[in-house]
């Protein structure tokens, strides 16, 4: 019996349930779901003030290391870019749509929302890109699960919220989406839409089994995005968006990576793209980060991180 750890939210349980089904159907193993409470779930403070993305991950990793669970499932965008002692990334299953989605009153799209409309998000990346559009939106900080956020629109507290399309798809709420945002308007978070399956690094048999759930294209794309984030030394409090895709080029498959780093108010940004081999995805991410750092991305990230503390 494999003990699979999950956070307690509907989205986390749905994501973990998807992985549990993959383990049952593709590996023929039995799975027991174990709910683990994290500090990020218990606090209503802004994510950036809690210590960033790792706030949702540490409790699950501790449960792995003490043997309470055998497998942990995370949203990839919540996973710190630095490796953790004793923990191995065993697989990255096929990715959901990585784009952001607008849930707005009266079925409105972003361009149809009038100036001054209130839009809620808990993401500095989304807030900065909204400001960068120059549409005079009233961008407000929010926390809470998907239903809590969408209820703020339904009850008239906000005109709209922005959420990850992947999360809405996984819990069957895509009918609420009024617009899926083009990455030209809003680049998603590195790793958005992908799941990370972790286990103990010394559990070699389980690691080998779980590796069968890995999707190489998704893994390569996410590796490039996360390598860029690591090389920029950026985390949750820095407005950085990135998305990688594997496309057919003149000489076979190519990895195309696009990224943006912004000031918190969206008035300054560095946007670059690069192509390379999917077999060298980490190098592709590092090379793009180097180009962005040459263009001044470090100054934007440093100022934004200080401002959000």
Is residue 197 within 8 A of residue 89, CB to CB? The reply is yes
Q: What CA–CA distance (Å, rounded) separates 92 from 224? A: 13
Distance between CA atoms of residues 249 and 293, nearest Å = 27
Across the chain, where does the E strand assignment appear? Answer: 2-6, 31-35, 71-75, 87-91, 100-104, 118-121, 138-141, 160-164, 179-180, 195-200, 240-249, 252-262, 269-276
Catalytic residue among 78, 100, 159, 209: 78
3-state secondary structure at position 29: coil
Q: Would residue 203 show up in a list of annotated catalytic residues for this protein?
A: no
What is the maximal distance between C-alpha atoms in the chain?
A: 57
Sheet holding 2-6, edge to edge: 31-35, 2-6, 71-75, 195-200, 87-91
Residue 214 bridge partners (DSSP): none
Which residues are CB-contacts of 156 (< 8 A; sequence separation ≥ 6)? 105
Instruction: State whether the Cα torsion 194-25-11-5 is positive or negative.
Output: negative
Of 280, 291, 296, nearest in space to 258 by CA: 291
Give the residue numbers marked as catalytic. 78
């Amino acid at each position: 019996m494999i003990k699979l750890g999950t956070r307690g939210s509907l989205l986390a349980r749905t994501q973990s349930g998807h992985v549990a089904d993959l383990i049952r159907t593709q590996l023929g193993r039995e799975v027991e779901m174990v709910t683990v409470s994290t500090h990020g779930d218990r606090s209503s403070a802004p994510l950036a003030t809690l210590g960033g993305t790792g706030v949702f991950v540490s409790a699950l990793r501790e449960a792995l290391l003490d043997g309470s669970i055998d497998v942990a499932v995370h949203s990839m965008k919540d996973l710190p870019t630095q490796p953790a002692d004793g923990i191995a990334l065993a697989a990255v299953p096929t990715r959901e749509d990585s784009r952001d989605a607008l849930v707005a009153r009266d079925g409105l799209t972003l361009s149809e929302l009038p100036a001054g409309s209130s839009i809620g998000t808990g993401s500095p990346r989304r807030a900065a890109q909204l400001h960068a559009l120059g549409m005079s939106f009233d961008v407000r900080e929010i926390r809470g699960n998907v239903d809590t956020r969408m209820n703020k629109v339904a009850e008239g507290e906000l005109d709209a919220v922005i959420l990850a399309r992947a999360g809405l798809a996984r819990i069957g709420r895509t009918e609420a989406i009024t617009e899926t945002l083009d990455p030209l308007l809003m680049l998603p978070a590195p790793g958005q839409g992908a799941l990370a399956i972790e286990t103990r690094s010394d559990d070699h048999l389980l690691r080998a089994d779980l590796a069968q759930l890995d999707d190489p294209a998704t893994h390569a794309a996410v590796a490039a995005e996360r390598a860029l984030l690591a090389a920029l030394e950026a985390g949750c409090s820095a407005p950085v968006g990135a998305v990688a895709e594997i496309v057919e080029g003149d000489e076979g498959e190519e990895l195309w990576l696009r990224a943006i780093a912004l000031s918190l108010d969206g008035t300054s940004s560095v946007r670059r793209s690069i192509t390379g081999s999917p077999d060298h995805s980490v190098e592709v991410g590092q090379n793009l980060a180097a180009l962005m750092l040459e263009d001044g991305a470090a100054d934007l990230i440093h100022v934004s991180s200080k401002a959000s503390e």
